[in-house]
Amino acid sequence: MKTAVVLGGGGFIGGHLAKRLKSEGYWVRCVDIKPHEYFNHEDICNDFIVGDLRNYNLVKSALIIGNQGVDEVYQLAADMGGAGYLFTGENDANVMHNSTLINLNVLKVCSEFGIEKVLYTSSACVYPEYNQMDENNPSCVEDSVYPAEPDSEYGWEKLYGERLYLSFRKNYGIDTKIARLHNIFGPMGTYDGGKEKAPAAICRKVVTSTEGDTIEVWGDGKQTRSFLYVDECVEGLRRLMKSEVTTPINVGSEEMISINDFTKMIIRISGKNINIKNIDGPLGVRGRNSDNKLIKQLLGWEPTEKLETGIKKLYQWLENIYQHLEN
Looking at 64-146, list the stretches that DSSP marks H as alpha helix, in order from N- to C-terminal side: 83-86, 92-113
Percent of the residues in the chain that have a pLDDT greater than 90, as a whole number: 90
Please state, in angstroms and as integers, the Cα–Cα distance from residue 10 to each residue in 36, 65, 156, 160, 240, following that order: 4, 20, 24, 24, 22
Options 26, 154, 165, 229, the catalytic residue: 154
**Burial of 313 from C-beta contacts in 10 A (0-12 / 13-18 / 19+):** middle
Please state, as a whole number, how many other Cβ atoms lie within 10 Å of the Cβ of residue 171: 9
pLDDT higher than 80, residue 255: yes
First-to-final CA distance of the chain: 44
pTM over 0.85: yes
Reply yes or no on domain 186-226+255-289+305-326 having CATH 4.10.520.10: no
Q: Quick check: do 3-184+227-251 and 186-226+255-289+305-326 share a fold?
A: no
More confident residue, 168 or 87: 168
pLDDT tens digits for range 262-293: 999 999 999 999 999 999 887 789 999 999 99
Instruction: Give the H/E segment covering residue 261.
Output: helix 259-270
Measure the CA–CA gap between 59 and 106, rounded to whole angstroms.
6
pLDDT tens string 141-158: 999 999 999 999 999 999
Structural domain spans, the chain? 3-184+227-251, 186-226+255-289+305-326
Q: Is domain 3-184+227-251 in CATH 3.40.50.720, yes or no?
A: yes
Q: Above 80 in pLDDT, residue 203? A: yes
Q: Which residues sit opposite 225 in a β-bridge?
A: 257
> Residue 82 pLDDT > 90, yes or no?
no
Q: What is the pLDDT of residue 137?
A: 95
* Distance of alpha carbon 197 from alpha carbon 190, whole angstroms: 8
Active site residue 154: yes
Closest C-alpha among 163, 167, 3 to residue 73: 3
162 pLDDT tier (thresholds 50, 70, 90): very high
| Closest alpha carbon to 174 in 270, 89, 103, 86 | 103
Residue 195 pLDDT class (50, 70, 90 cuts)? confident
pLDDT of residue 86: 82
